[in-house]
Amino acid sequence: MHPGAATARDVLTRLVHPAIVNHSIRTYMWAVLAGERRGMAAGRDYDDDLLFYACSLHDLGTSDAHDGPRRFEVEGADAAAELLTAEGLGADRVDEVWEAIALHTSPHIAERRGPLTLLTRLGVLTDFGEGAIDDPAVREEMERLHPRLAIERELTGAVVAQALRRPEKAPLHSWPGSLLRAHLDSAVSHPAPRHERTEA
């Protein structure tokens, strides 16, 4: 088990849906594998502790406890930074984790902001089947250890629910913004059935 696993899992299990807990752990596992496939090694090319924290805490902003006015990626990055600072991590290292979390849904930007942010992004993408790693046996084992539990539905639902309450959390051209627009478009295309009014 990773040295930081107990702290991260305790925070996650208290604050987010189990599907998001499992997704966060799988994201780290995929990120490490993505690094290996690129010839990157922990300790030489990236800090494994920071990668674990960035991946395991990257969706902390979907929790009710951290549902502030900014998009969930930034709220999550702020929450992780506060946690890691309290754990005694230095400011420079905390800032690396903050950036990796804040940019994990930002294509073409995350990939250019250093190994930690790159690998966090690749871990997220790969868990949703969009990465360059196509290994069914590895995926099956990861999902046996950490089941998906309808992560797509749970994560989308959490982000959209926040955005419906606070539309400023879903700015145009952001991932939360695209999810909110898709949700609203679907509601218009498939309105809920109207019930006849009855008199008691």
| Residue tagged 């400023």 (tokens) | 168
Neighbours of 153 (CB within 10 A): 12
**pLDDT single digits (tens) 33-78:** 999 999 999 999 999 999 999 999 999 999 999 999 999 999 999 9
What pLDDT score does 167 carry?
92
Residue for token pair 């019930």: 195
Q: How many CB atoms lie within 10 A of CB 147?
A: 13
Separation CA 84–CA 91 (nearest Å)? 9
Beta bridge partners of 46: 42
Model pLDDT, residue 77 = 98
Q: Running along the chain, 200 residues long, what does each successive block of 10 average in pLDDT? A: 74 94 96 97 96 96 96 97 93 98 97 98 95 89 96 94 92 87 78 42
Per-residue pLDDT, 6:
80
pLDDT at 60: 96
Around Cβ 162, how many Cβ atoms within 10 Å? 24
CATH class of this structure's domain 3-149: mainly alpha
Instruction: Output the pLDDT for position 190.
Output: 54
First to last CA, the chain: 61
**25 contacts: CB under 8 Å, gap ≥ 6:** 9, 55, 56, 146
The pLDDT score that the predictor gives to residue 5 is 72
Q: What is the pLDDT, as a whole number, of residue 189? A: 62
Query: Of 28, 34, 23, 112, which Cα lies nearest the Cα of 59?
Result: 23
